[in-house]
Structure 1
Amino acid sequence: MFEVETDAHGGTTVSVDGFPQSYVHPDDPELLVFGYVQHLAAVLDALPAGRLAVTHVGGAAMTLPRYVQHTRPGSPQVVFEPDAALTDRVRRDLPLPRGHRIRVRPQPGRSGVTALKDRSADVVVVDAYADSQVPADLTSLEWFGEVARVLQPEGLVLMNAADEPDRRHVARVHAGLAAHLPHTLAVAEVDIWKRRRFGNLVLVGSRQPLPLATITRQVAKAPFPSRVLNGTELTRALGSAVPFTDHDARPSPPPPVPAGQWRLR
């Protein structure tokens, strides 16, 4: 079940199963209120100027596709959002910008990506939840093999992962990602790196070295203190782990607080 609620400032929050999934201000596509969305945008902003072919796994109100259209006009984008009723509501209440090249397909992310052509995307963004958890089939070694297949040789995958302070789940997700796209980094708010709370970490992977310095500068602009870890720092932060496979994958841990305690930023 989803809810669409507009605030006094003209922004709209889309909640699914009681948890906020997207925030959109139709007149200001650069207003990104969730910390992890700011991190996703920071990585995209670190890439060379110009259009990007972006595949989004998970859509909701399509905050990030709108941002990409605003900052890189004319970028061809595909969004896999299985909830067709939600998409219809968003299209009615929050129309996409004029001149966009955003195609929304009512498919689950795994089957949608599997059907894509080789090397068809510059970036794949994985930001999908079901019952407030990242679906198990988007965490496995085989899944990241499919993502790597559809990426251009210098392409990137960006994944919004969520975990408890021990980070054991995200460590296994990262291991699967790194097996196919060995140049990796992760972005999170400082208190998450300090293991103070459950939270979101953005994982980034590529076949090629990442623009670490540029990403770090972009992340430093975030309103809440955040850090970028890679290499040995990231290994120490996550610890060693065995990748999930399709046989043992499981969804991310559920958020530990009642939905009503989640705060917009």
Structure 2
Amino acid sequence: MGGEGGPRLELLADDDRPGGWLMLMDQVRQSYVDLRDPAYLDFEYIQGFADVVDALPAGPLSVTHIGGGACTFARYVAHVRPGSPQLVLEPDAEVTALTRARLPLPPGHRIRLIPHEGRAAVRTLRDGTADVVVVDAFADGRVPATLTTAEFFAEVARVLRPAGVVLANLPDGGRGGGRYVRRVTAAARTVLPKALLRADPAVFKERRFGNVVLAATRGELPVVPVAQAAARALLPQKVLAGDALDHFVGGAAPFTDADCALSPAPPDNLWRVG
């Protein structure tokens, strides 16, 4: 699937998990969905999102997703927080069409898929209407620069309720890496000062490239349970918060609309299949 000159979309069945499907875009892992078990999360950073959501107060959550892919995390929220109203902003019509045709959403879901680019769509949302905003959007394998600035996070903060949380997937690391995630974190903290980062310890040490999960809020974050869950992961993860996060971010300048950048390009074949 994919138009002439456009990205090639594929679905691969998981021989080891009946009901498991891997969505590829130009042979790069884009989403993993288990239609039989929405609680199964194959991508480690999605588990990082889940660990934060699991530690929030019980009950349905109003969640806005900027970038949806195959709606893996929206399915998870619908499963563990029944009745949660969710808005998925996915500008790639082919991804949405393939999801609707081959990866149907679960019965009774309250998930709306909107074919709209994230930053522009956020501007149209009403104040104080979201408990969680999830930023997991990529264009040509990199996070758009417009989704990482102080001005963008100010729009997100406007949409969030007072105790609301933003979750973001930030790829970084490797030799000479780390500057990007530091600047994004600094941008988020201009309006959402309580924050944490979760990643493979080797990513924080700039020894390898990988996904970093950012959580930020005006309220309080469940740092202890999130750190405990990260330590129990199949591949244990590290959480930075408080003084450790201050030390990591240092004097990094926040990204702004006038001074921003795409996320670093991943090493060749890091997330490629075949």
TM-score range, shorter chain: over 0.9
Match of 1:249 among 219, 244, 260: 260
1:249 Cα offset (Å): 1.2
Match of 1:6 among 2, 8, 13: 13
CA offset digits 1:25-82 (Å, max 9, x no partner): 1001111111111111111101111100000011111100000000011100000000
Instruction: For 1:22 and 1:84, locate their aligned partners in 2 and report how far apart those are by CA, in whole Å.
Output: 15
Instruction: For 1:3 and 1:80, locate their aligned partners in 2 and report how far apart those are by CA, in whole Å.
Output: 21
Tell me the SS of whatever aligns to 1:100. Answer: coil
Seen in structure 2, the aligned counterparts of structure 1 residues 65 and 148 have a Cα distance that, compared at 3 Å, is: same
Seen in structure 2, the aligned counterparts of structure 1 residues 261 and 105 have a Cα distance that, compared at 3 Å, is: closer
Query: Which range moves more in the overlay, 232-241 or 19-28?
Result: 232-241
1:212 Cα offset (Å): 1.3
RMSD between aligned residues: 1.5
1:141 Cα offset (Å): 0.9
Query: Which range moves more in the overlay, 104-113 or 238-247?
Result: 238-247
Instruction: For 2:271 and 2:173, locate their aligned partners in 1 and report how far apart those are by CA, in whole Å.
Output: 19
TM-score, normalised by the number of residues in structure 1: 0.95
Aligned counterpart, 1:115: 124
CA offset digits 1:189-208 (Å, max 9, x no partner): 22212321011110111001
1:219 Cα offset (Å): 2.3
TM-score, normalised by the number of residues in structure 2: 0.92
Query: Which range moves more in the overlay, 233-242 or 18-27?
Result: 233-242
Relative contact order higher in (CA < 8 Å, ≥ 6 apart): 1
Aligned counterpart, 1:106: 115
* Structure 2 unpaired stretches of 5+: 1-6
1:113 Cα offset (Å): 0.9
Match of 2:207 among 185, 196, 215: 196
Superposition map of 1:172-211 within 5 A: 172-211=183-222
Match of 1:92 among 95, 101, 109: 101
Aligned counterpart, 1:224: 235
1:17 Cα offset (Å): 3.1
Query: Which range moves more in the overlay, 221-230 or 133-142?
Result: 221-230
**Contact residue 127 and residue 158 of structure 2 kept, 8 A:** yes
**Contact residue 35 and residue 103 of structure 2 kept, 8 A:** yes
1:86 Cα offset (Å): 1.2
1:25 aligns with 2:40: no
1:157 Cα offset (Å): 0.3
Provide the identity percentage. 49
Match of 1:164 among 168, 173, 176: 173
Aligned residues: 263
Tell me the SS of whatever aligns to 2:75. Answer: helix
**Contact residue 62 and residue 131 of structure 2 kept, 8 A:** yes
Q: Return structure 1 stretches of 4+ with deviation > 6 angstroms.
A: none
Query: Which range moves more in the overlay, 1-10 or 132-141?
Result: 1-10
